[in-house]
Amino acid sequence: MDTELDAATARPARTPRRYDKTRMEAFSDGVFAFAITLLVLDIVIPSAEGDRDLLAAFLEQWPEYVAYVVSFATIGAIWLAHNSISEHLTKVDSTYMRLNLVLLLFVAFTPFPTRFLSQYIQVQDAERVAVTIYGIAFLVLALIVVCLWVYAKRAGLLTHGADDDKEVAANSQRLPQGLIAYPVLIVVGLFWPMVAVFGYLALALYFMIPFRIRRRRQRAAAAAAK
């Protein structure tokens, strides 16, 4: 009797809630676009008297241009990785949505360390602090993208055969490399700040190079070696 009563009063198992993937992608793309737009808005138009003075004032702002290019390339690389993951999602759950929000939190934060870097890159001692904060911000972005990818795989959110996709395979190889490269560059920045900044740019470009192009180059190099 007690068994029948327990069976009758037992609550049905809750099925995990699924969210609209399209809305998540649209919202994410909007935040990425907003962050990139803020980067260029931080570049101040120089003012001077005469053509020569204006050209000199324009060239003096090179730290702002460098910071803009590096941050743009890094956000672009993160967006490409995020996009390749989203394309292979069959569904998203509450945990993935929250991880995605954490990623967007730091994407929207990127213009701040970018501005910080551009203002203090030429200030002795202070530039080390600026470059360190800059690198940590990028490290966190790469870490969260890796967390998104690992969770999507373990939670069964990806389409069947996603691991066979060339872009997905490239991300599986390159993203963990970023988790190693960023700490190394952060340490380098304590001694040679500008070397670290251009290292961040090189790392972002490495992530952005199409997988097929790099694969063809590897094949061509192997054929030439033979």
More confident residue, 59 or 2: 59
pLDDT digits (tens, 9 = 90+) for 67-85: 999 999 999 999 988 988 8
Which pLDDT value is given to residue 8? 47
49/136: higher pLDDT? 136
Give 158's strand partners: 89
- pLDDT tier at 157 (50, 70, 90 boundaries)? confident
Q: CB under 8 Å to 122, separation ≥6 — which residues?
A: 63
pLDDT of residue 185: 94
- What is the pLDDT at residue 196? 93
- Rounded to an integer, what distance in angstroms lies between the CA atom of residue 111 and that of residue 171? 25
d(CA 172, CA 158): 14
Angle at 34 between CA 176 and CA 162, to 5 degrees: 35
pTM over 0.75: yes
Residue (of 144, 150, 209, 151) closest to 182 by Cα position: 144
Write the single-letter amino acid at 195.
Answer: V
In the chain, domain spans:
18-225
Q: What percent of the chain has pLDDT over 70?
A: 76
102-125 mean pLDDT: 91
CB-CB contact of 201 with 68 (8 Å): no
Whether pLDDT at 209 is above 90: no
Task: Let me know: does 42 contact 65? Beta carbons within 8 Å.
Answer: no
Task: Please say if the pLDDT value at position 164 is more than 60.
Answer: no
What are the CB-based long-range contacts (under 8 Å, 24+) for 203-208? Answer: 203/74, 203/178, 204/70, 204/73, 204/74, 204/76, 204/77, 205/73, 205/77, 206/174, 207/77, 207/80, 207/81, 207/174, 207/178, 208/73, 208/76, 208/77, 208/80
Length in residues, the chain: 226
Question: For all residues of the chain together, what is the average pLDDT?
Answer: 81
Q: Report the distance separating Cα 40 and Cα 27, nearest Å.
A: 21
What pLDDT is stored for residue 13 in this prediction?
A: 47
Mean pLDDT of 129-157: 91
Output the pLDDT for position 168.
Answer: 65
% the chain with pLDDT above 90:
42
- Bridge partners (DSSP) listed for residue 92: 19
